[in-house]
Amino acid sequence: MADYGRPRIFGRVIVLLLLIIALAGGGLVWFDYLNIIDAKTVLAPFYRFIGREGRTQPETVPDEALSLDAERLAVRLEALELRALELDRREQDMGIRQGEIEQMAQELEERQKALDERENSFNALRQEAETKDRNVEQNARYLTGMLPERAVGIITSMDDQDAIDVFRKTEEIAQAEGTTSIVSYWLSLMAETPEGAARAAELQRKMAGRPPGFD
């Protein structure tokens, strides 16, 4: 009875061992297929036995092995390159902005020069006008203080505008000082001769038709 059960147990052991080997082989093939483990060298004879070409492991150069430090370095280098490009772009923008500022400064400087020239020209004209006004006032006072006949002789030798300026300044002085203007008497003396009358009429016409200082 005992001898009869022993072959049956031995057969079960054999079946179990074969099952374990099959499972191990299948798992080995499956894990190799998923690249979880590298069993290509071990499984190469099996693939040749079943008439299929075994899978090969891609060749790698030792220097090309993946390195975490190398990847980090590559990422940092890329970030630095991007940063350098950004700095270059900002530098270009700053250069353009600097050029615009310099151009604006140059335009402002040119405008300031133009304003200075206009101001200088205006000041020169004003000074010239003030000088002329002082000279006219001095002549008017000088002529008013001399004999009317002599004053009329001097006025007659003047051109029309200078004579008109003297007449007007004489009237201004008389009005400011509350005295009677002698201009009308000068004109009456000038009109005693035919030529003088025509000149006096022309001066009166211009005095009436033109504002002070109009040439």
The average pLDDT across 143-166 equals: 91
The average pLDDT across 138-156 equals: 91
Q: Is 67 helix (H, G, I), strand (E, B) or coil?
A: coil
Alpha-carbon separation of residue 195 from 42, 119, 160, 200 (angstroms)? 143, 45, 14, 9
pLDDT in tens, 19-46: 888 787 777 667 666 666 655 565 566 6
Instruction: Flag whether pLDDT at 135 surpasses 80.
Output: yes
Name the residue ranges covered by the structural domains of the chain. Answer: 10-57, 135-209
Q: What percent of the chain has pLDDT over 90?
A: 25
Instruction: Flag whether pLDDT at 151 surpasses 80.
Output: yes
CB atoms < 10 A from the CB of 199, how many? Answer: 18
Task: Please indicate whether residue 99 or residue 214 has the higher confidence score (pLDDT).
Answer: 99
Angle, in degrees to the nearest 10, between helices 68-144 and 148-157 = 140
Q: Where are the alpha helices (DSSP H) in the chain?
A: 2-33, 40-49, 68-144, 148-157, 160-177, 183-190, 194-209
Instruction: Flag whether pLDDT at 12 surpasses 60.
Output: yes
Task: Please indicate whether residue 56 or residue 167 has the higher confidence score (pLDDT).
Answer: 167
pLDDT score for 56: 54
pLDDT score for 24: 75
Lowest mean pLDDT among 2-16, 18-32, 45-59, 183-197: 45-59
The average pLDDT across 175-180 equals: 90
pLDDT in tens, 61-103: 444 445 677 777 888 888 898 889 999 889 899 889 888 898 9
Lowest mean pLDDT among 36-40, 189-193, 195-199: 36-40
Task: Please indicate whether residue 214 or residue 105 has the higher confidence score (pLDDT).
Answer: 105
Task: Give the chain's mean pLDDT.
Answer: 80
Structure token pair of residue 22: 């099959």
